[in-house]
Amino acid sequence: MSLAFFKGRFLPLEEATVSIATHALNYGTGCFEGIRGYYNAERHTLYVLKLREHYERFMRSCRIMRIDPGYTVDELCAATIRILKENRTPGDVYIRPLAFKADPVIKVTLDGVGDAVGIFTVPLGDYLPINGIHVMISAWRRVEDNAIPSRAKITGSYVNTALAVADAHYAGFDDAIFLSEDGHVAEGSAANLFLVRDGVLVTTPGTENILEGITRNGILQFAADLEIPSQVRAIDRTELYVADELFLVGTGVQVAPITRIDHRTVGTGDVGPVTSRLQSLYFDVAHGLLHRYDDWLTAVDYEKSEKGADILE
Residue 177, SS3 per DSSP: strand
Phi, psi of 197 (to 5 degrees): -135, 125
Per-residue 3-state assignment (H helix, E strand, C coil) for the chain: CCEEEECCEEEEHHHCCCCCCCHHHHHCCEEECCEEEEEECCCCEEEEECHHHHHHHHHHHHHHCCCCCCCCHHHHHHHHHHHHHHHCCCCCEEEEEEEEECCCCCCCCCCCCCEEEEEEEEECCCCCCCCCEEEEEEEEECCCCCCCCCCCCEHHHHHHHHHHHHHHHHCCCCEEEEECCCCEEEEECCCEEEEEECCEEEECCHHHCCCCCHHHHHHHHHHHHCCCCEEECCCEHHHHHCCCEEEEEECCCEEEEEEEECCEECCCCCCCHHHHHHHHHHHHHHCCCCHHHHHHEEEEECCCCCCCCCCCC
Residue 173 and residue 136 in contact, taking contact as beta carbons nearer than 8 Å: yes
On whether the CB atoms of residues 133 and 249 are closer than 8 A, the answer is: no
Residue 288 near residue 43 (C-beta atoms within 8 A)? yes
| Set 50, 153, 304, 307: catalytic member | 153
- Whether 307 is catalytic: no
Give the residue numbers marked as catalytic: 153
